[in-house]
Amino acid sequence: MGMKEPNLTFLTAIVLVTIGFSHSTTQADNNAKILEQLNGTWKGGVLNGAQGHVLVFKGKGVAATQNANDLGAGNLVLDSSKKPWTLDAKGTKGGHKGQDRLGILTIDGDSLKWCVSLGKNRPADFKTGGQNFCLSLKKTGDNAKILEQLNGTWKGGVLNGAQGHVLVFKGKGVAATQNANDLGAGNLVLDSSKKPWTLDAKGTKGGHKGQDRLGILTIDGDSLKWCVSLGKNRPADFKTGGQNFCLSLKKKK
């Protein structure tokens, strides 16, 4: 009895189905990665147009404001197999509720351009004009992640000044000692959208209770510099002098 020839049509179908499944899986992974990259707060405005836009991406949704005015929210549909990528939004809140906004997207590091049509035709390029407007936005730092990075005990001292400082950050609070002497505690307000980041403390304990201390912050791995003013003007640079003192600290492992 001769060996039966394989059913090439059946095998071909299996191969094609496998390839298609692999492609769709890869595509879904790419979309998920891009949506994860989008997650967070982006600020900027329309190319050659109005400014003051803030977009907050979370999961498959986006909410927008302009100069603190609510512009509504929508659900996102991303297709990264297209060139350029397409990113559409279906309004779930605000004046565009229930309407589809067709768009194209490009991301370059912490910058993005999202061009959206107010009509029925998807934008062909990243330009503002006609029924299309193109948002040019920069991603702001993530306050929650930075505060999490701060959590713990940091030791060091003032640049060109006294040493022996220990700061313990926990959540949105900080407590400080110098050579085991209590310097008090405060509640923190971080704004990582500013350059440099601003980190202010409102005294809740000690001699500075009830007083606001305006500061700027930079973190490089397990090192930080936090420059704080004893006056009413925020420090402009990371230097000790005048009414400003700059703490240089290392995180305790």
Domain ranges for the chain? 36-139, 143-251
Fold identical between 36-139 and 143-251?
yes
How far apart are alpha carbons 203 and 228 in whole angstroms? Answer: 13
Would you give the distance in Å from CA 237 to the centre of its chain? Answer: 24
CB 76 within 8 Å of CB 87: yes
Exposed/middle/buried for residue 169 (C-beta within 10 Å: 0-12, 13-18, 19+): buried
pLDDT at res. 13: 54
How far apart are alpha carbons 168 and 118 in whole angstroms? Answer: 51
How far apart are alpha carbons 78 and 59 in whole angstroms? Answer: 11
Residues of the chain with pLDDT under 70: 1-25
pLDDT at res. 3: 46
Amino acid identity for residue 124 in this structure: A
pLDDT at res. 9: 60
Q: Tokens standing for 135?
A: 């948002």
Q: Write down the CATH number for the domain with range 36-139.
A: 2.40.128
Q: Which residues contact 18 (CB under 8 A, 6 or more apart)?
A: none
How far apart are alpha carbons 242 and 229 in whole angstroms? Answer: 9
pLDDT at res. 72: 92
CB 17 within 8 Å of CB 11: no
- CATH value of 143-251 in 3.30.70, 1.25.40, 2.40.128, 2.60.120: 2.40.128
How far apart are alpha carbons 50 and 53 in whole angstroms? Answer: 8
Q: Write down the pTM of the prediction.
A: 0.54
Beta bridge partners of 250: 155, 223
Q: What is the per-residue burial (b if ≥16 Cβ within 10 Å, else e) of 108-137?
A: eeeebbbbbbeeeebbeebeeeeebbbbbb
Amino acid identity for residue 171 in this structure: G
59: closest CA among 26, 87, 36? 36
CB 250 within 8 Å of CB 156: yes
Q: Virtual CA dihedral for 230, 234, 237, 241, nearest 10 degrees?
A: -20
pLDDT at res. 30: 85
